[in-house]
Structure 1
Amino acid sequence: MLATTDIHAELRDFDYARNRADPNKGLSRAGGLIAGLRRSAPASLLLDNGDFLFGRPFSELPDRGAAAVIESMIRLGYDAVNLGNHELDLGFDTLVGAVNGTELSVVSASFLGPDGAPVFPVGRIVERAIPVASDRRAVVRIGITGVLPPRCLGPSTALGAANIRLADPEEALLAAAAHLREQGAQIVVLLCHEGLSTEDGEDLPQRLAKSGEIDALVLGHTHETFPGPAWTGLPGVDPEAGTVHGIPAVMPGSWANQVGRIDLGLASDPVLGFRVVAHDVGLHAVNPPNADRPPNAPAVLTASQGAHAAMLRTYQEPVVNTDRSLFTFFAQLGYCPSTRMCAAAIARAVAQAVPDKTRGSLPIVGLAAPFMCGGYRGPGDYVEIRPGPISRGELRRMSPHSDLVIGIPGTGRDLRFWLERSMSAFHQILPGEHAVELIDAGFPPSDFDVPFGVQFTLDISSPAMCTSRGMATGEAPGRVQDLHIDGQPVTDDMPLIIATTTHRSGGGGRFPIPQTDAAVVTDVSIADALVDALAAGVYPATGRMFNFAPLPHTRAVFSTGPRAMAYIPDDARTRLKPLGVGRDGFLKMLLNLSAG
């Protein structure tokens, strides 16, 4: 059984925002890997666990690349696909129009219509002939179903507008499994669009695994991988064997960067016909570190050829001008014109969407992350835009995704914990330490949300309240101090509006989302918000977005791109001492934290 998840329309090993090849992703490469894995087994299934249809690669095309995605998956021979939260990015009716009438086999026990009946097939039974003796084969019937937990959707209006609701995932599984067994399924596979979590003990995937109704489990949504050592100590989870309460499970990353594999060994059963008696779980990377990359699958290259050519043309088009340089070289030091511009544009879009009588005097805090800010993608992966025309491709470098802007009512406490999640990017550094790396290399820049409209002090001598993957550590009191909006202290009970994106509200980055029914989902994408703000000449004030709390006699090593030398902020020159370019290609700078 082979599985992908969270492909997000990444059909090729190409990054349109950066205008270069990316060897670490792409369904075309995964397709080549799948072909090889299929040849190694006497029978196989190919499944996807949702969030396949929409993403950043083809967001500028009229159909967001949906036709190319579906055709690619059909040509690769997917046996069943589940639906994720991002399938609803353009609304429920758009989703239905995209998948209906195609040969793609959608399964979901979650979507219920006004009458309570399932909207999509709750499951599918696939038959495979397997060898049971040297000269004999038998047919095994595999039932496949899928669920989308409601909490993965966040405060979206996509379902409510269509009078559709999501079923309780545990109830949906029980009903779907019973239906599949009645139809003759001997093995039941669950596609669950949710990942493992270490926050609250046993979570939904563990409960589903204990249901007694499934024989294999595919997870997703969080873009993480399983099996792996990150899940050591989680109740009921064996991170080495790849099981959840004894059920073989796999979580194959995102963007088609991994293919998950679950091998099932079957034995005859007098009641069911077959039962699982052995299993082996593994992950296969499309860019393995010590092996050759798989070839591109011709079927995907052919199906995506038109969309690929259109995007190459589109990303070269100039769309707006800037009168100042926009870059991300010093984002983790609080200086980031690019990300601050994004946060300001998001806040502006929410302010325009929320009626004055609703908002009243509530402050709006914009939040955005420097997606291209070094990290594991290397020393060349930074935004650097000079004054003048900005192409659509450069705009995507500032904010690569096409999610919609959303305003979420919350409190000062919500904002503080949101920032604590971001500020977990820093290592804990105690007064008097020297030459300690400032940034946790395992923390993704895409989760480093910084605010527009807020000022605060950051005390990195305190422990982080979250891990790099967003799991709560239980540490207190936190790092974010002296939080102010326009000079006014932010108290825990102060009402405000958090301006962010549907990616965050849907759980992306594991940020603490305020629970509310009053969120305002705009029809404005981040890119459109940026174009509108830049065209209007609405630039945020320059300067730092946060200050470090002074740590006497303390210095830390800050790594950035070599081209940062041309953009060192004037008021940072006395605190930053260039050390040269290291073996990893990053420019090393010694940051004096004595004065904050």
Structure 2
Amino acid sequence: MGTTDLHVHIYPYDYYTDRPVDTVGLARTAAHIAGIRAEATNSMLFDNGDFLQGNPMGDYIAYERGMQDGDMHPIIQAMNAVGFDASTLGNHEFNYGLDFAMRSIAGAEFPVISANIVRSLGARPTEDATLVAPFVVLERMLTDGAGMAHPIRVGVIGFTPPQVMTWDRRHLEGKVVVRDIVETARAWVPVMKAEGADIVIALNHSGIGEPGHVAGQENAAVPLAAVEGLDVVMAGHQHLLFPGPGFETIAGVDADKGTIHGKPAVMGGFWGSHLGVIDLLLEWADGGWRIVGHESTLRPISRRNDDRTVTPLVESERNVLDAVATEHRATLRYIRRAVGWTSAPLFSYFALVADDPSVQLVANAQMWYVAEMLKGTPHEGVPLLSAAAPLKAGGRAGPDHYTDVPAGEIAIKHVADLYLFPNRLRAVRISGADLRGWLERSAGLFNRIEPGGRNQMLLNPDFPSYHFDVIDGVTYQIDLSQPPRFDAKGKLIAPDSWRILDLAWQGRPVTDDMEFVIATNSYRAGGGGEFPGARGDTIILEAPDTNRDVLVRYIAEQGTIDPTADNNWRLAPLPGTTVLFDTGPRAMRYLDQMTALRLEPAGDAPGGFIRFRLAL
């Protein structure tokens, strides 16, 4: 059995909206675990990483309560209560710093492993000084069909995406390095076999991506599965489901059977939404165990109905809830603290098609902060811009994953809703050419639209909304009749294509040799997303505060905010052309406020979303 990407979701509770939900929570997943343990004579349970960060409970522990030596982190308490056999480290384990991560996992009653995070490099991976144990060989007893017990040694090895060195450079640089996943596996798996592992399981906090091996690969499950001696792959990081649709075209992957290069694999969603299950049929032959049959399945904790309601499929396990009840109550007190007021609602249902007030608020706060920090420096007076993206805009997280803050009091929970991640504020200094490239990279969100065409799908579903940076302080249009210059991962695919039109600063056309300072976050400034001008070498300000803290301070300073977007960007007109896009059903409550767009409802969309038609 396997969980992945729990992100501190223990209770079936949405701390952003401050209400119970049926779609998340390890306490619910634990019901499936208990059921399988009751029905299966032999079972093991693993976690695939990204457990320490991801919701306000994680922030409360990191920023309010803290983690001193001997303290227990609630997600570790919950995982201990469930009874895991092992876990690996995901990239988000380091968002609050290396010391915080190490103090947190110290309380685990199960091994936490990672073979490719290294304190000091050796000549080859097996000579590295790893941060935690690279693997573990677990000795267990198997009961066969006749009721006889037999010993088995299960080798478990863990991997983390190498990109963590970019995403959390501030916390990790000079302290650890990260090796390539496949290179590391090829070195360690023979060692595990030599130490007596009968079968080898990879806890791979990495997704199912390119079929061939690429050095430093982020989603390396396919070439990893090809490593000789590796028997099972548990994947994650992508917040997707496997077996399942979406992976059919990848060479070596059977998306129906749940195999990669013929080996059983699973990816169990995120936030406890699903339990990944792999059934292995083992046979003793020639002095060892071998796999003679396997089946990969997923067990969801809820079902979304045709009328968009959600039906829970399991109830929470009381012992898991009890394990963190004190921390849950403390988190509720934390999220309900007031920091200011808003004169109008803040919502992100239309953030991918028009300038958005929730994104505008973040951009304003960043610009306000950086302007103060740059006073008296050589960068004061350089045109200051601010880049912000809609962090909650549906996508894989579903039709409820949108910012929706009513007019009135703004509490911590609302600020956390506006800015999900514990990034730190950064500023970069770049050229006008890079500014244009940055916006071109963002414009990859949109499919190419044929002028005069009707009902064309507007958004590329593979493009995450957090890469759709809106840059405030300049004005521009996006010409959708041109192909995207960059693909969803930031690769240049159409060097002769330009979508950004009429790019101007204070009414003046932006030229390639102009210079700008852009307020952004540590993920983007450090190279996250592969944006021109933001690859770690243009940073001029490394602020001590998180973007979320800056947002809190800005709202408190303003007292009451007026969340009005300045409409500095728009989709360029294409007469006679209509497009379709999907959003959350609660968008209907705000349709009358979208007067600048020619919108009309176009029915239901898959997955509980609703669809709109937009005339360009």
Q: Indicate the TM-score class for this superposition, using the shorter chain for normalisation.
A: 0.7 to 0.9
Separation (CA, whole Å) in 1 of partners of 2:192 and 2:281: 20
Which residue of the partner structure matches residue 404 of structure 2?
A: 383
How much does 1:110 deviate?
Answer: 2.4
Verify: 1:71 aligned to 2:70, yes or no.
Answer: no
Verify: 1:533 aligned to 2:554, yes or no.
Answer: yes
> Compared with structure 1, are the counterparts of its residues 348 and 268 closer, same or farther at alpha carbon in structure 2 (3 Å cutoff)?
farther
Which residue of the partner structure matches residue 318 of structure 1?
A: 338
Q: Which amino acid aligns with 1:34?
A: I
Which residue of the partner structure matches residue 260 of structure 1?
A: 276
Separation (CA, whole Å) in 2 of partners of 1:507 and 1:30: 35
How much does 1:21 deviate?
Answer: 2.3
Which residue of the partner structure matches residue 23 of structure 1?
A: 22
> Compared with structure 1, are the counterparts of its residues 586 and 143 closer, same or farther at alpha carbon in structure 2 (3 Å cutoff)?
closer
Given that 1:427 and 1:439 are in contact with CA atoms closer than 8 Å, whether structure 2 keeps it comes out as yes
How much does 1:17 deviate?
Answer: 0.6
> Compared with structure 1, are the counterparts of its residues 548 and 350 closer, same or farther at alpha carbon in structure 2 (3 Å cutoff)?
same
Separation (CA, whole Å) in 2 of partners of 1:117 and 1:586: 48
1:270 to 286, 292, 316: 286
Verify: 1:208 aligned to 2:224, yes or no.
Answer: yes
Which region of structure 1 is more displaced relative to structure 2, 255-264 or 534-543? 534-543
How much does 1:318 deviate?
Answer: 0.8
Given that 2:525 and 2:536 are in contact with CA atoms closer than 8 Å, whether structure 1 keeps it comes out as no
Q: Which amino acid aligns with 1:567?
A: Q
Q: Equivalent pairs: percent with the same residue? A: 32
SS of the aligned residue for 2:415 comes to: helix
Verify: 1:230 aligned to 2:246, yes or no.
Answer: yes
Which residue of the partner structure matches residue 54 of structure 2?
A: 55
Verify: 1:136 aligned to 2:148, yes or no.
Answer: yes
**CA deviation map 1:214-244 (0-9, x unaligned):** 1111222222232333122223222222222
Separation (CA, whole Å) in 2 of partners of 1:374 and 1:463: 24
Which residue of the partner structure matches residue 239 of structure 1?
A: 255
Structure 1 runs not aligned, ≥5 long: none
Verify: 1:481 aligned to 2:496, yes or no.
Answer: no
> Compared with structure 1, are the counterparts of its residues 98 and 334 closer, same or farther at alpha carbon in structure 2 (3 Å cutoff)?
same
Separation (CA, whole Å) in 1 of partners of 2:300 and 2:589: 31
> Compared with structure 1, are the counterparts of its residues 416 and 303 closer, same or farther at alpha carbon in structure 2 (3 Å cutoff)?
farther
Separation (CA, whole Å) in 2 of partners of 1:300 and 1:511: 42
Given that 2:54 and 2:420 are in contact with CA atoms closer than 8 Å, whether structure 1 keeps it comes out as no
Given that 1:43 and 1:128 are in contact with CA atoms closer than 8 Å, whether structure 2 keeps it comes out as no
How much does 1:11 deviate?
Answer: 0.9
SS of the aligned residue for 1:313 comes to: helix
Paired residues, what number?
584
> Compared with structure 1, are the counterparts of its residues 191 and 485 closer, same or farther at alpha carbon in structure 2 (3 Å cutoff)?
farther
How much does 1:77 deviate?
Answer: 0.8
Separation (CA, whole Å) in 1 of partners of 2:282 and 2:147: 17
Verify: 1:298 aligned to 2:318, yes or no.
Answer: yes
Which residue of the partner structure matches residue 294 of structure 2?
A: 279
Separation (CA, whole Å) in 1 of partners of 2:208 and 2:430: 26
Separation (CA, whole Å) in 2 of partners of 1:351 and 1:80: 47
Separation (CA, whole Å) in 2 of partners of 1:6 and 1:231: 19
How much does 1:311 deviate?
Answer: 2.0
Which residue of the partner structure matches residue 172 of structure 1?
A: 184
- Superposition pairs for residues 360-439 of structure 1, below 5 Å? 365-373=385-393, 377-378=398-399, 381-386=402-407, 389-407=409-427, 416=436, 418-420=438-440, 422-434=442-454, 438-439=458-459
Given that 1:334 and 1:545 are in contact with CA atoms closer than 8 Å, whether structure 2 keeps it comes out as no
Q: Which amino acid aligns with 1:262?
A: I
Given that 2:344 and 2:563 are in contact with CA atoms closer than 8 Å, whether structure 1 keeps it comes out as no
> Compared with structure 1, are the counterparts of its residues 158 and 526 closer, same or farther at alpha carbon in structure 2 (3 Å cutoff)?
closer
1:554 to 563, 574, 577: 577
Which residue of the partner structure matches residue 137 of structure 2?
A: 125
Separation (CA, whole Å) in 2 of partners of 1:380 and 1:518: 33
- Superposition pairs for residues 89-104 of structure 1, below 5 Å? 89-104=95-110
> Compared with structure 1, are the counterparts of its residues 222 and 393 closer, same or farther at alpha carbon in structure 2 (3 Å cutoff)?
same
Separation (CA, whole Å) in 2 of partners of 1:137 and 1:412: 70
Structure 2 runs not aligned, ≥5 long: 122-127, 306-310
> Compared with structure 1, are the counterparts of its residues 53 and 481 closer, same or farther at alpha carbon in structure 2 (3 Å cutoff)?
same
Given that 2:211 and 2:250 are in contact with CA atoms closer than 8 Å, whether structure 1 keeps it comes out as no
SS of the aligned residue for 2:169 comes to: coil
Given that 1:144 and 1:188 are in contact with CA atoms closer than 8 Å, whether structure 2 keeps it comes out as yes
> Compared with structure 1, are the counterparts of its residues 160 and 391 closer, same or farther at alpha carbon in structure 2 (3 Å cutoff)?
closer
Which residue of the partner structure matches residue 356 of structure 2?
A: 336
How much does 1:33 deviate?
Answer: 1.6
Given that 1:349 and 1:524 are in contact with CA atoms closer than 8 Å, whether structure 2 keeps it comes out as no
Verify: 1:218 aligned to 2:217, yes or no.
Answer: no
> Compared with structure 1, are the counterparts of its residues 294 and 278 closer, same or farther at alpha carbon in structure 2 (3 Å cutoff)?
same
Which residue of the partner structure matches residue 576 of structure 1?
A: 598
Which region of structure 1 is more displaced relative to structure 2, 87-96 or 431-440? 431-440
Given that 1:18 and 1:393 are in contact with CA atoms closer than 8 Å, whether structure 2 keeps it comes out as yes
2:160 to 127, 145, 148: 148
2:197 to 144, 161, 185: 185
How much does 1:399 deviate?
Answer: 2.1
> Compared with structure 1, are the counterparts of its residues 278 and 367 closer, same or farther at alpha carbon in structure 2 (3 Å cutoff)?
farther
Which region of structure 1 is more displaced relative to structure 2, 335-344 or 110-119? 110-119
SS of the aligned residue for 1:146 comes to: strand
Structure 2 length-normalised TM: 0.82
How much does 1:326 deviate?
Answer: 3.7
How much does 1:294 deviate?
Answer: 1.5
How much does 1:317 deviate?
Answer: 1.7
Separation (CA, whole Å) in 2 of partners of 1:590 and 1:215: 48
SS of the aligned residue for 1:306 comes to: helix
Separation (CA, whole Å) in 1 of partners of 2:165 and 2:533: 12
Separation (CA, whole Å) in 1 of partners of 2:130 and 2:611: 57
Given that 1:152 and 1:507 are in contact with CA atoms closer than 8 Å, whether structure 2 keeps it comes out as no
> Compared with structure 1, are the counterparts of its residues 382 and 477 closer, same or farther at alpha carbon in structure 2 (3 Å cutoff)?
same
SS of the aligned residue for 2:279 comes to: strand
> Compared with structure 1, are the counterparts of its residues 473 and 4 closer, same or farther at alpha carbon in structure 2 (3 Å cutoff)?
farther
Root-mean-square deviation (CA), in Å? 3.8
